Structure 1
Amino acid sequence: MTAIDLNADLGEGFGRWQLTDDERLLSVVTSANVACGFHAGDAVTMRRVCVLAVERGVTIGAQVSYRDLAGFGRRAMDVPPAELAAEVAYQIGALDVFARAAGARVAYVKPHGALYNRVVHDEEQAGAVVEGVLLADAALPVLGLPGSRLLELAGTAGLPVVPEAFADRAYTEQGTLVPRGRSGAVVTDPDEVVARSVSLARAGRVVSEAGTGIDVRARSLCLHGDTPGAVDLARRVRRGLEESGVRVEAFA
């Protein structure tokens, strides 16, 4: 039976402001990408999400980002490699304190937003992320886009790599994500999201923005927690996967 991990970005609040419905999403997903305070999240939120994740048997991952609270980590930034490596390690370490206190560990690392897209092609920034992961834990898996420089360099460094796909994001013909500023970058029709998820899990294929089928082989499938109706959509995707014969389980 085909198996796929379902991950979602969680803990994306700050202080009294909350963006994601962490508790309900943790009843659906198998892996939680927890914001580590640089694009969203704070100590109280990180601790709460870790406790909830452990209670529900959900794997905890560190979602590392550029230091950009005002821009939600989605603005392009030029950070010196040594500084970026240190900040990646810092974020992983901060989350791991709360994961350990809850009875677990940080089990993987995934970049967020602008950093995620930057390390698809930028060797220097990708290398800095890998260095940061190695500083924190040389055995941590790294989630990223299939064919990205990040996964290539992580694999070369001996880190486990996990290719991921996106259920609700449009793809270019080159297999990269359509920039969020472009019309149609986020897929909003629930039926289409479910159909794309099943195709990605079972066939490793998705239709690009140009209407052509492209290969996207992935072990983990991301559902964004900050989109309207995220919980109901996540439930529909999981149900659609299971009804099509796909086993939904964490990769780590």
Structure 2
Amino acid sequence: MELDLNVDIGEGFPFDRQLLNWVSSASIACGGHAGSSALMEETVDACLGRGVRIGAHPGYPDPDNFGRQPLAMDPALLLESLCEQLAQLDGICRSRDARLAYVKPHGALYNQAVNDRPLAQLICRAIKCVVPHAALMGLAGSPMLTVAAEAELAVIREGFLDRLYRHAGALVPRSEPGALLCGDEAVRAQLTALARDRVILGQDGISHPIQVDSLCLHGDSPNALERAQLVHNHLTKLGFSLPQY
């Protein structure tokens, strides 16, 4: 059995290259919330050297807040920004005969688009304009993926190992107590539920069915490298391997 493991990367943290040893997909910051042209080039090269699938991680153009605060942007300006971010990373990939395989929105943009149909449609429009071959990676069970399917985009259903769920298709906001799962045992338990049992224990105490194609590792936490090793090893123990791209 195979299950993809993706990491948010290229955001300026010191352990990016080591993280690539434990994952199969990399969502690369495109200069909106973080990243730069030089860092994008370096990260793409590192992915190609390790056979890691390349994805784009565009966000609100708000590096001061790391893209984690909603911005009340004019839709036309947001579309322009997203298209520019995607085009820059796609150009770097093309210059190396590489393929940009998917797009995963970052931070507040992702969280809002989960249930905001017009915003999800705008993101899909940016993908269709710049990288129409790319899939949209988004929260498994969420309306955002329904919008992507309606736009005739391929979708990748994502699950989170370190976030508390309200129910399948909805995460507890980071601002609420307990939204982040910090302990190793809690992460192992959620990994087992998502990968093997195909359920998620919601905040309501009910186990909800869920289907995931990829599991997310956050690359911006101090223990990101240790967490990546833990998750990789536990996946192996459950009988899963990472896909080869």
Which TM-score tier does this pair reach, normalised by the shorter chain? over 0.9
Aligned to 2:191: 197
Which of these residues, 26, 30, 34, is aligned with residue 36 of structure 1?
30
Matched residue of 1:172: which SS?
strand
**1:10 partner letter:** I
The match for 1:164 is 158
Determine the structure 2 residue equivalent to 1:11: 10
Structure 2 length normalisation: TM-score? 0.95
Residue 36 of structure 2 aligns to which amino acid in structure 1? D
Correspondence for 2:129 among 135, 143, 148:
135
* Alpha-carbon distance in 2 for matches of 1:9, 1:141: 16
1:247 is paired with a residue of what secondary structure? coil
Q: Distance in 2 between matches of 1:189 and 1:31?
A: 24
Whole-Å Cα distance in 1 between the matches of residues 44 and 182 of structure 2? 29
Match of 1:230 in 2: 224
Q: Which of 174, 180, 187 is residue 181 of structure 2 equivalent to?
A: 187
Mapped to 2, the partners of 1:193 and 1:6 lie a distance apart of 14
Distance 2:117 2:201 in 1: 28
Q: Which ranges of structure 2 fall in alignment gaps of 5 or more residues?
A: none
Give, in angstroms, the shift of residue 20 of structure 1. Answer: 5.1
Q: Distance in 1 between matches of 2:28 and 2:40?
A: 7
Shift of 1:174: 5.5
The farther-off stretch of 214-223 and 77-86 is 77-86
Distance 1:11 1:127 in 2: 26
Kept after mapping to 2: 8 A contact 1:11/1:20: no
Question: Which of the residues 62, 70, 85 maps onto 1:76?
Answer: 70
TM-score, with length taken from structure 1: 0.92
Q: Which moved more, 1:111-120 or 1:197-206?
A: 197-206
Contact 2:114–2:144 (Cα < 8 Å) also in 1 = yes
Does structure 1 retain, via aligned residues, the 8 Å contact 2:141–2:168?
no
Q: Secondary structure at the match of 1:221?
A: strand
Measured in 2, the distance between the counterparts of 1:112 and 1:195 equals 25
Identity level (%): 39
Which string of whole-angstrom CA distances, capped at 9 and with x for unpartnered residues, describes residues 94-127 of structure 1?
1112223344121100001001011111111111
Q: Quote how far apart the aligned CAs of 1:208 are.
A: 2.0
What per-residue deviation string (whole Å, max 9, x for no partner) do you get for residues 111-155 of structure 1? 010010111111111111010000012221000012323211211
- Of 51-60 and 166-175, deviating more is 166-175
- Equivalent position amino acid for 1:60 in 2: I
Quote the residue 2:87 is aligned against: 93
Task: Kindly tell me the number of residue pairs found equivalent between the two proteins.
Answer: 245
Give 5+ residue unaligned stretches, structure 1. Answer: 14-18
Amino acid at match of 1:8: V
Distance in 1 (CA, whole Å) between partners of 2:14 and 2:178 is 22
> For residues 42-53 of structure 1, what are the structure 2 equivalents within 5 Å?
42-53=36-47
**Over aligned residue pairs, what C-alpha RMSD do you find?**
1.5
Partner of 1:213: 207
